[in-house]
Structure 1
């Protein structure tokens, strides 16, 4: 199993939800986060003082998928989130040792399906 964490632009969220239906994924967690990277943020003047906004709003998506689904999920996220500009985001993929569905006690692949 793989954990996929994707940091994307907020305006891309609706496109990302389509991935769930298209790839028949069973779950997705979404969080609103703030972050910075190559995009750097912006500067504004408020009451004559310069304010440097280094953190920009992003959406963090987390999902656990089976090993054989990971490549297609990552490819789908990249194709939907790509604009070619700084701030398109990043995807992190890590291995998951086990999973447990609390309601039934199922473990491993059965818990993710």
Structure 2
């Protein structure tokens, strides 16, 4: 089961990092959402758009579930997923469970 870790201030580690978000007093602060799965923090793989997510159907299903939790109509969910862009908003943050390798995703819903 996926759960969301508490938002924390800090910087994203680089793609493929096995660490959680680091904090720094000199870094620009922003809210982060770090995903967990199998009782542990998931590995951040990088930013993803609709094209990149095609390789990770489990991550797309995870995003569909998150949108459904926000009570979005199915057609709006699919429009939103199709509008995801790696280098612009909205974007997705791709993760992988370190225990079972399930792919997860969180989207910038702004």
TM-score interval (norm. to shorter)? under 0.3
Structure with greater proportional strand content: 1
Structure number, greater radius of gyration? 1
Structure with greater proportional helix content: 1
**TM-score, reference length from structure 2:** 0.26
**TM-score, reference length from structure 1:** 0.25
